[in-house]
Amino acid sequence: MDLETVARVARAARISLTEEEAERYRRDLTDILDYFKVLDEAPDGSSAGVNPVEVADALRDDEPRVCADAYAMLSGMKTYDGYVRGPRLS
Amino acid sequence: MKIGLEIHVQLPTRSKMFCACPTEEAEAPNAHVCPVCLGMPGSRPVLNMRALECGIALAKLLGCEVAETTWFSRKTYFYPDMCKSVQITQYDHPVGTNGSYALDGGKRVRIARIQLEEDPGKTKRVGDQSSLIDYNRSGIPLAEIVTEPDLSSPAEAREFLKRLIGDIRHALGLRDDGERSIRCDCNISVGSERCEVKNVTGLRNVERALAFEAVRQTKVLRSGGKVVRETRRFDEERGVTISVRKKEMEADYGYIDEPDLGIFHIKEMAGRVSVGESPQAMAARLSAEYGMGEKAARQLVSSSVGLAALFEELAEAAGAEAAKSWIGEIGSHWKRAEERGADRAEIVRIVSEAAAGGMNDVEARMALRAHMTGEEPQCAEGARPDLDAVILGYIDSDPGILDEIRKNGRASNRIIGHAVKATGGAFSSSEIVSAVGRIVAERLG
Amino acid sequence: MSPDRLAEINARYHMFSAISPEIPEDAGFLFSAKDNLTSAGMETKCGSRILEGYVPVFDAAAIERMKAAGGALVGKTNMDEFGFGTFSVNSAFGVPLNPFDPERSCGGSSGGSACAAAVLEGHVSLGVSTGGSVSCPASFCGVYGLTPTYGRVSRHGLIDYGNSLDKVGLLSADAPVLGRRLAEISGRDPRDPTSCAQPELSLSGKRISSVAAPEEALRGVSGAVGEAFKASLDRIRESGADVETISMPSLRYAIPAYYVIATCEASTNLARYVGMRYGRQDGDLSLGFDDYFASFRTEYFGDEAKRRILLGTYARMAGFRDRYYAKALRVRAHIIESYKEAFGRFDAVATPTMPFIAPRFSEISAMSPVDSFAADFLTVPPNLAGIPHLSVPCGYSEGMPIGLHVSTDHWREDLLASFAEDWSESFKAERAGVGQ
């Protein structure tokens, strides 16, 4: 893995890296991906599911319900006039 | 010119897609929220059955293939309104694929896919310093309908959207809340490269945005330039599209399967989900079955599917000719009648009676208006109907009534009842009783 | 046990990241819970600074059910940040110390839970395993650790690492407690769809009568561990069960498949931590959102969390997704099939739990990320396959415990519960630490 890829991945993950860190993660990830090469030769199962046991058709009825105390949840957040405060949009 | 649309439709559920929070308008920001739609650590989603059924209904309506199973995916992107920084959507196993939809004149627009996904919250700018977010919309269920680039002009795109939305509203029982509720991403290419105009609201704006883009791209090409593949937005006030920095590259979405929901056997469910006849199909059928002009049939259906259904009841009860000659009159009062919840059976009765000669056209017209609008006939006509004529007309249509009255005076109640209905409340009951008494007495001599 | 007494013990071992301010005298039993299970009104941090200040409004299902069974929650146990580790050294809130030797690790990532189970009399702790995080610390601390089938215990309130891998499990020095508590915390929960696939748990007392020992399991384990394992197989034979050596070549693919799936899922789960809504929110809102988010994630995620986020983000990016993520899912299916084949002939598969005894902290700091990943080669396969497994103490070397690992087919926790009870009667485990 090259530094450019590390930088691109870090940007996608919203993590800033110093040059020293980028180099260290580059080395670590390269080692790890080398170690993962064995995957290429691994056989496939007959059907790959999303979960290790079949989880199917778990559905909820369309019944609206107040399920939590919105006030209690918002009390742990930065708010203004009932809105949650967030960073600048651009 | 090639145009393809990605159309977002809000599904008519009462609760959100993955939690039980209500979907109705909230009285305040962040009132309809819970740990799930706020993405609190430790919460997890559970799929609303109705949302899945709506998706299947849309897939059937648009002639899509419904696979054996469907499941959801995670699309990762960072924005303050997306509280998990992950949108639960569909990627490689959507609810429907490979459908098509017919335009006037038989042209078919291919539907690539229909996928279900959750809406994010809503952001509000505060000066240039920070943002404010309302998560009431977070988790509202949406269907995204993606067409192939088969549309060839902005006007055609608008026409397509108008019909499609009409059909969808009918199939899902959606309230007609104006064209503002339709959101589209529009892809358009005049030459070989396409641009995407994101998040355009309303039919008219879709046409405007596309028309602007078509002109812009043509100019670029004519002057020897190249159209750059990019995302643009539409400025409604100025009527122009503007290039925007693309927030995420497609590759960075990093789709993976959503492991918290499992899979859904939709083919099996599709057998149980019924879709009403689409308005397009209904117009074609009315025209063929009742010898109605194609245009008239389409007008009838597009003014109201309910009215078109009444037309069929009338044709059944009173014959196609009577139905055709009365449907215009009925249509002119239809909106009022729906608002008042006027009884359709009575409309059918009046038309049947008129068709059978039980009342003349003037009487029938007045009866319909009175029944459907609830207006006093004098208000409607500026004058009261001729009560004597109504009574005499009934006696003429049923001469045996006089013999019956001779045997039992109470038989005159039939005439009274008819007169009350036929005059639609224009006369008080004592006026009618005395007029009936007077005329019967004259006749019996 | 008073909160003060608990605080004294904690000062010695660092097993708790939070202690309940009040512990009722009349509680039916006392339990602790790993700090990635939400506790209403009590800070829940997952070993991460980014969650400092997060006070959930709801109890995790497992905690709720323990309380309903008469339990009192005494504290939240220390762990590797978000479960990312094998030695519990990746916590922002101190490192739990092994009760057998404070210079050695408790194992991870449920290290605090294993430490509490080893030190506190009659204690049971809720742990969470993604790739071996219950078995590994159970083995290093000389206690019993039971990880049920994926989906057996509701994950409502479990702060996700890898959603298709995470399982709530139990740790205790008292073997019979495991089955009893499992019966109380398991069952379908409409708040977690993945819990709704389970058949009912029936603790029939049925016993394991045949055991397969994959030959691949003894490659790369220390001499002492190999000896203890062989002695354990003899003990199983003496109890009347058949033991046979088999070959499971697919096991070698488990580690890469596991780390790909786990980090892909983890990198999406951890995307939500951006300095808004919960946890640390003390940033400058006038920054653009990308910079604002990055500032929190850069400052408050630890080194291992960043490494796994980067790895997972990479492995699911378009262009790499098919080679890593999609492939790993298919390989998982293959590994599940090879287990099913083994369970067609045997009741259980047995291996050592960890390839070595609890390492010293000085040894751990010399390990590379790949060395750490590789240490999990025995615990990862059953976790990847979602099958239930159990670590029991089976021997000692240099005064440190060694674990035996037993796995059964999906939903067959009943066999593990009876095995744990029988084992505890024939093998006398040593206790460490201060007791009461």
- pLDDT, tens only, B258-273: 999 999 999 999 988 8
Of C130, C149, C138, the residue nearest C171 (C-alpha): C138
Asked whether B88 and B67 are in contact (CB, 8 A), the reply is: no
pLDDT less than 70: residues of chain A = none
pLDDT of C241 > 50? The answer is yes
Residues C105, C78 within the same domain: yes
What integer is the mean pLDDT of C365-393?
96
A60 — contact with chain C (CB < 8 Å)? yes
Query: Closest residue of A to B50, CA-based?
Result: A62
Q: Could you say which of B328, B359, B374 is where a domain stops?
A: B374
Residues B34, B151 within the same domain: yes
Does some domain include residue B191? Answer: no
Does some domain include residue B315? Answer: yes
Of B156, B244, B162, B149, the residue nearest B191 (C-alpha): B149
Contact state of B33 with A73 under an 8 Å Cβ cutoff? yes
Tokens 């056989």 found at: A43
| Catalytic residue flag (residue C407) | no
Residues C248, C264 within the same domain: no
At C287, list the tokens: 């920054």
The predicted-structure confidence for C64-93, as pLDDT tens digits, reads as follows 999 999 999 999 999 999 999 999 999 999
Does some domain include residue B99? Answer: yes
Residues B263, B355 within the same domain: no
How buried is residue C251: exposed, middle or buried, by Cβ count under 10 Å (0-12/13-18/19+)?
buried
What does the pLDDT read at residue B383? 60
Q: What is the DSSP letter of B263?
A: B
Q: Please indicate whether residue A66 or residue B152 has the higher confidence score (pLDDT).
A: B152
What does the pLDDT read at residue B305? 75
What does the pLDDT read at residue C92? 95
pLDDT of B247 > 60? The answer is no
Residues C50, C32 within the same domain: yes
The domain that contains C388 carries what CATH number? 3.90.1300.10
Contact state of A64 with B23 under an 8 Å Cβ cutoff? yes
What does the pLDDT read at residue B125? 80
Residues B101, B172 within the same domain: yes
How buried is residue C338: exposed, middle or buried, by Cβ count under 10 Å (0-12/13-18/19+)?
buried
What does the pLDDT read at residue C433? 59
Does some domain include residue C173? Answer: yes
Does some domain include residue B322? Answer: yes
The nearest CA of chain C is from the CA of A18 a distance in Å of: 10
B262 — contact with chain C (CB < 8 Å)? yes
A12 — contact with chain C (CB < 8 Å)? yes
Residues C67, C151 within the same domain: yes
Does some domain include residue C161? Answer: yes
Residues C412, C273 within the same domain: no
pLDDT of B94 > 90? The answer is yes
Which of B30, B76, B81, B85 best tests the C interface by mutation, with the highest count of C CBs <10 A?
B85
C268 — contact with chain A (CB < 8 Å)? no
A9 — contact with chain C (CB < 8 Å)? yes
Whole domain around residue C299: which residue ranges? Answer: 255-318
CB nearest C318 (choices: B74, B250, B257): B250
CA B80 to CA B133: how far, in whole Å?
Answer: 7
pLDDT of B158 > 60? The answer is yes
Of C353, B35, C182, the residue nearest A77 (C-alpha): B35
pLDDT of B360 > 50? The answer is yes
Strand A59-60 to B73-76 pairing:
unpaired
Which of A21, A23, A36, A84 best tests the C interface by mutation, with the highest count of C CBs <10 A?
A36
What does the pLDDT read at residue C104? 97
What does the pLDDT read at residue C435? 44
CB under 8 Å, gap of 24 or more: what pairs does A21-26 form?
A: A25/C306, A25/C307, A25/C310, A26/A1, A26/A2
Does some domain include residue C433? Answer: no
What does the pLDDT read at residue B336? 84
Asked whether C3 and C23 are in contact (CB, 8 A), the reply is: yes
pLDDT of C436 > 50? The answer is no
Residues C380, C283 within the same domain: no
Please give the class, per CATH, of domain A3-41: mainly alpha
Asked whether C260 and A36 are in contact (CB, 8 A), the reply is: yes
The predicted-structure confidence for C34-45, as pLDDT tens digits, reads as follows 999 999 999 999
Asked whether C269 and C431 are in contact (CB, 8 A), the reply is: no
Does some domain include residue B110? Answer: yes
Of the candidates C17, C133, C267, C372, the residue annotated as catalytic is C133
What does the pLDDT read at residue B377? 58
Interchain CB contacts (distance < 8 Å): A and C: 185
Q: What is the mean pLDDT of chain C?
A: 96
Q: What is the DSSP letter of B140?
A: -
Q: Which residues of C touch B257 (CB under 8 A)?
A: 164, 329
Whole domain around residue B301: which residue ranges? Answer: 277-374
Query: Closest residue of C to B127, CA-based?
Result: C286
Of the candidates C32, C91, C109, C372, the residue annotated as catalytic is C109
State the greatest distance between any 2 C-alpha atoms of chain B, in Å, as a whole number. 99
What does the pLDDT read at residue B234? 94
CA C180 to CA C188: how far, in whole Å?
Answer: 17
What integer is the mean pLDDT of C290-306?
97
Does some domain include residue B423? Answer: yes
What does the pLDDT read at residue C394? 98
C250 — contact with chain A (CB < 8 Å)? yes
Does some domain include residue C432? Answer: no
The nearest CA of chain B is from the CA of A74 a distance in Å of: 8
Residues B40, B165 within the same domain: yes
pLDDT of B248 > 70? The answer is no
Residues B404, B369 within the same domain: no
The nearest CA of chain A is from the CA of C202 a distance in Å of: 19
| Catalytic residue flag (residue C327) | no
**Which residues have C-beta within 8 Å of that of residue B160, sequence separation ≥ 6?**
B5, B101, B103, B109, B151
Contact state of B20 with A85 under an 8 Å Cβ cutoff? no
CB nearest B41 (choices: C159, C190, C274): C159
Q: Please indicate whether residue B440 or residue C228 has the higher confidence score (pLDDT).
A: C228
What does the pLDDT read at residue B106? 80
Query: Closest residue of B to A76, CA-based?
Result: B40
Kindly report the pTM of this predicted structure: 0.85
What does the pLDDT read at residue B249? 67
Helical H segments across C279-323, by residue range: 289-300, 303-315
Interchain CB contacts (distance < 8 Å): A and B: 130
What does the pLDDT read at residue B156? 95
What does the pLDDT read at residue B380? 47
Residues B385, B356 within the same domain: no
Q: Please indicate whether residue B303 or residue A76 has the higher confidence score (pLDDT).
A: A76
Q: Which residues of C touch A84 (CB under 8 A)?
A: 276-277
Residues B54, B143 within the same domain: yes
CA B419 to CA B414: how far, in whole Å?
Answer: 9
Residues C298, C402 within the same domain: no
CA B398 to CA A47: how far, in whole Å?
Answer: 77
- Sorting pLDDT into bands at 50, 70 and 90, what band is B74? very high
What integer is the mean pLDDT of C324-349?
97
Task: Identify any residues that bridge with C391 across adjacent strands, giving them in sequence order.
Answer: C145, C405
Query: Closest residue of A to B17, CA-based?
Result: A62
B70 — contact with chain A (CB < 8 Å)? no
Contact state of C191 with B253 under an 8 Å Cβ cutoff? no
Burial annotation C48-58 (CB, 10 A radius, 16+ → b, else e): bbbbbebebbb
CB under 8 Å, gap of 24 or more: what pairs does B223-231 form?
A: B226/B193, B227/B189, B227/B190, B227/B191, B227/B192, B227/B193, B227/B194, B227/B195, B228/B193, B228/B195, B229/B193, B229/B194, B229/B195, B230/B195, B230/B196, B231/B195, B231/B196, B231/B197, B231/B198
Strand B47-48 to A59-60 pairing:
parallel
Q: Could you say which of C271, C296, C318 is where a domain stops?
A: C318
Phi, psi at residue C234, to the nearest 5°? -60, -45
Q: Which of B197-206, B275-284, B405-414, C303-312 has the lowest mean pLDDT?
A: B275-284
Q: Could you say which of C318, C342, C361 is where a domain stops?
A: C318
Residues C207, C297 within the same domain: no
Which of B15, B38, B43 best tests the C interface by mutation, with the highest count of C CBs <10 A?
B43
Count the domains in chain B: 3
CA angle B342, B347, B351 (to 5 degrees): 165
CA angle B292, B293, B297 (to 5 degrees): 75
What does the pLDDT read at residue B378? 53
Taking the CB of residue B133, how many other CB atoms lie within 10 A of it?
A: 26
Count the domains in chain C: 2
Q: Could you say which of C292, C318, C344 is where a domain stops?
A: C318
Asked whether B261 and B118 are in contact (CB, 8 A), the reply is: no
Residues C44, C136 within the same domain: yes
Asked whether C407 and C248 are in contact (CB, 8 A), the reply is: no
Residues B43, B119 within the same domain: yes
What does the pLDDT read at residue B381? 47
Q: Which residues of B touch C325 (CB under 8 A)?
A: 256
User: Which chains are adjacent to chain A, needing at least 3 Cβ pairs under 8 Å?
Assistant: B, C
- Sorting pLDDT into bands at 50, 70 and 90, what band is C434? low
What does the pLDDT read at residue B361? 84
Residues C152, C211 within the same domain: yes
| Catalytic residue flag (residue C34) | yes
At B299, list the tokens: 């007008």
Which of C46, C54, C272 best tests the B interface by mutation, with the highest count of B CBs <10 A?
C272
At B149, list the tokens: 């680039």
- Give the distance from CA B220 to its chain's centroid: 39
- Sorting pLDDT into bands at 50, 70 and 90, what band is B376? low
Does some domain include residue C323? Answer: no
Asked whether C129 and C383 are in contact (CB, 8 A), the reply is: yes
CB nearest A87 (choices: B21, B80, B257): B80
